[in-house]
């Protein structure tokens, strides 16, 4: 796991600067504190920061091969041992035991097709000396980031946007993306919050040849026949168990101490269960607890740790040093990022990094298994739409009329019921926009109405869904989870917060073999009746404590709504929303704070989303 940065002057007569390259890598030193390396020649500059996980003695980068090709690489190729043996049989010789050298040899032998041979997470750059060609690649799902820009006749790229700023790319923001951000809590690829800076899309590669830049797709979700989905439950359970077990086994390859994040949820508990079967020593597990019981799953995590005899570590999140948290998140995300679960992810990453250098996580389980409550919501919407129209129209009216009589938990639930019923009659993109937003749609529209040329979030989601051939809303949601939510939100969250503390996070549920197989499984096998993650429950879940199987679904949430009610936060909230108030309705921002403080609406997460935007406005 590492950080990469580099640039190529399109004018070949223009020499590169190692001092400038070092500035680009110094600002991402947190991604690789174990070493640095540079290659500068003529118009080419490759820089690398190393976090040593595999082949500690001979895996330094940039790495060269006998053909003069050069690579810098961030990530892990988990099947590198098998690929190395395959290439050895063909006749290739290896000088190191690293996965980096395997990538170089694989590229030499298979060309661009090498990407489809890799099982892993990656962002890499290869300079092909003979072809005078740059090859940038990003993994299938988008676990590892890669940004690029063309500025002053130079192609600049890096793991994080801050490397491009260090080069001198201007920090010109794009206010037209604010409605999309406030709804989705992120800036989706290929966009960034800055003009002329882009994210390489997951499953894509970029080729630079003779000043021509071309981006191509090399991987996609499989095409499915919705009338012929996999329905043999016994076979599905067997294949799923094998694929997840093998994915975990591959991801436990490491030359340094490692462990696992354990939230107390079904996915991370299953990962820990399988790790404990494979390992010949106790697994280190890391859990973060909360003082607010509604958000705390530490007792459930402890039950799993006790059952599988892990070496368990528990930390607690408290609302201290909030200003420092805000600054740190703003620094590491480089652009507005409003998913508040980044806060506990940062805490558990910092906590774990004191003991290990690598962890496995349960991320991706909800996508692979179609396990979000929103899948239940699709079933519920289909059922609601069968009711007579006067019923579906009258319930929200009655609900909204009695809600003001309550505050706190009851009020929040009444608001939720109204939202579900109102959204049931919307088309898929509109319903998803409502579902994703931390507040009601009307509030977001009011906040952004004075921003010039603002892009409606519905238009963005319609554009995303143009690439979807699936017809059933259940499978459409699966597409959206993989194409949008994972690469733009959840994986960004984990990558930036784990790497902020020089910790590598590996995600076995996102093994591409598992994704491709489970995408073809019938929805009624994935969700039997109203039961989420039926496949996992009927396999690995049988070995978990009953309390894990019976626990309600919880995200990796944080009690922001309660924290922001405290008088301690009054001044901080006002000071950290000053720039927002200049471009939006100041009275509306004040009303959002007031509603949360009085318990009329749960605006905690949305206030955090506003604060992260505020930090990035210049």
Active-site residue flag, 2: yes
Which token pair is 6?
């580099």
DSSP conformation letters of 329-377: HHHHHSS----TTHHHHHHHHHHHHTT-SEEE--TTHHHHTT-SHHHHH
Burial of residue 259 (CB within 10 Å: 0-12, 13-18, 19+) is: buried
CA distance 609 to 19: 36
CA distance 134 to 154: 13
Close Cβ partners of 431 (under 8 Å, ≥ 6 residues apart): 381, 423, 424
Confirm if 392 and 384 have CB atoms less than 8 A apart.
yes
Closest CA to 517 of 272, 204, 247: 247
Confirm if 156 and 44 have CB atoms less than 8 A apart.
no
Confirm if 460 and 174 have CB atoms less than 8 A apart.
no
Closest CA to 338 of 31, 580, 586: 580
Which token pair is 87?
């290439």
CA distance 106 to 118: 9
Which listed CATH number (3.40.50.620, 3.40.50.300, 3.40.50.10880, 3.40.640.10) goes with 233-370+478-550?
A: 3.40.50.620
Q: β-pairing, 258-261 with 358-360?
A: parallel
CA distance 261 to 457: 33
3-state secondary structure of 469: coil
- Strands in 152-226 per DSSP E: 154-158, 197-199, 204-209, 212-217
Phi, psi of 414 (to 5 degrees): -65, -40
List the strands of the sheet with 70-77, edge to edge: 63-64, 70-77, 120-128, 133-138, 204-209, 212-217
3-state secondary structure of 565: coil
Alpha helices (runs of H) in 74-117, residue ranges in sequence order = 80-90, 99-110
> Which CATH number does 2-217 carry?
3.60.20.10
Which token pair is 117?
């041979």
CA distance 300 to 90: 50
CA distance 536 to 301: 18
CA distance 455 to 178: 8
Confirm if 487 and 202 have CB atoms less than 8 A apart.
yes
From the candidates 2, 27, 114, 468, give the one annotated as an active-site residue.
2
CA 134, 140, 145, 150 torsion: positive or negative? positive
3-state secondary structure of 310: coil
Closest CA to 362 of 253, 248, 475: 248
DSSP classification of residue 283: P
Query: Any idea where the domains of the chain sit in the sequence?
Result: 2-217, 233-370+478-550
Per the listing, tokens 């909800």 go with: 366
Low-confidence ranges of the chain (pLDDT < 70): 1, 55, 57, 292-295, 319-321, 382-426, 554-557, 618
pTM: 0.92
């Amino acid at each position: 796991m590492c950080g990469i940065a580099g640039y190529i002057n399109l004018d070949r007569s223009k020499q590169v600067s190692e001092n400038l390259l070092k500035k680009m890598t110094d600002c991402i030193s947190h991604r690789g504190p174990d070493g640095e390396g540079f290659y500068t020649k003529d118009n080419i500059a490759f820089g690398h920061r190393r976090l040593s996980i595999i082949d500690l003695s001979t895996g330094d980068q940039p790495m060269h091969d006998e053909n003069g090709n050069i690579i810098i690489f961030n990530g892990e190729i988990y099947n590198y041992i098998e690929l190395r043996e395959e290439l050895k049989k063909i006749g290739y010789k290896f000088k190191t035991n690293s996965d980096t050298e395997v990538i170089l040899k694989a590229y030499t032998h298979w060309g661009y097709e090498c990407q489809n041979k890799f099982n892993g997470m990656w962002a890499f750059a290869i300079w092909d000396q003979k072809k005078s060609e740059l090859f940038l690649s990003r993994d299938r799902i988008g676990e590892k980031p890669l940004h690029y820009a063309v500025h002053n006749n130079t192609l600049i790229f890096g793991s994080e946007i801050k490397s491009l700023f260090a080069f001198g790319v201007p920090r010109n923001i794009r206010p037209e993306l604010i409605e999309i951000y406030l709804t989705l809590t992120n800036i989706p690829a290929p966009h960034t919050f800055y003009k002329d800076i882009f994210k390489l899309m997951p499953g894509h590669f970029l080729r630079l040849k003779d000043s021509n830049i071309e981006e191509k797709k090399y991987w996609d979700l499989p095409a499915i026949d919705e009338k012929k989905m996999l329905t043999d439950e016994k076979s599905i359970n067997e294949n799923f168990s094998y694929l997840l077990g093998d994915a975990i086994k591959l991801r436990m390859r490491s030359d340094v101490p490692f462990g696992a994040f354990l939230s107390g949820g079904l996915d991370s508990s299953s990962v820990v269960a399988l790790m404990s079967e494979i390992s010949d020593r106790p697994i280190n597990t890391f859990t973060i607890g909360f003082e607010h019981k509604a958000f705390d799953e530490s007792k459930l995590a402890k039950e799993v740790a006790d059952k599988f005899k892990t070496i368990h570590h528990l930390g607690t999140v408290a609302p201290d040093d909030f200003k420092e948290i805000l600054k740190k998140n703003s620094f590491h995300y480089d652009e507005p990022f409003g998913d508040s679960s980044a806060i506990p992810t940062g805490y558990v990453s910092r906590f774990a990094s004191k003991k290990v250098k690598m962890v496995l996580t349960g991320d991706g389980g909800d996508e692979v298994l179609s396990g979000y409550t929103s899948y239940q919501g699709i079933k519920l919407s289909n059922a609601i739409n069968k009711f007579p129209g006067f019923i579906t129209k009258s319930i929200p009216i009655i609900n909204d009329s009695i809600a003001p009589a309550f505050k706190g938990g009851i009020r929040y639930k009444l608001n939720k019921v109204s939202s579900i019923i109102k959204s049931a009659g919307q088309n898929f993109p509109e319903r998803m926009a409502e579902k994703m937003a931390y507040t009601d749609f009307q509030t977001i529209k009011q906040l952004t109405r004075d921003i010039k040329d603002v892009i409606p979030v519905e238009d963005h989601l319609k554009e995303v869904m143009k690439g979807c051939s699936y017809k059933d809303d259940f499978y459409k949601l699966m597409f959206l989870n993989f194409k949008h939510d994972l690469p733009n939100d959840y994986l960004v969250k984990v990558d930036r917060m784990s790497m902020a503390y020089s910790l590598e996070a590996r995600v076995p549920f996102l093994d591409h073999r598992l994704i491709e197989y489970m995408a073809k499984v019938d929805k009624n096998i994935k969700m039997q009746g109203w039961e989420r993650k039926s496949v996992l429950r009927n396999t690995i879940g049988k070995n978990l404590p009953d309390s894990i199987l019976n626990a309600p679904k919880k995200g990796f949430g944080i009690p922001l709504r309660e924290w922001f009610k405290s008088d301690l936060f009054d001044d901080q909230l006002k000071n950290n929303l000053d720039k927002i108030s200049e471009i939006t309705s100041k009275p509306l921002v004040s009303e959002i704070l007031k509603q949360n403080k009085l318990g009329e609406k749960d605006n905690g997460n949305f206030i955090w989303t506003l604060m992260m935007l505020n930090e990035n406005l210049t």
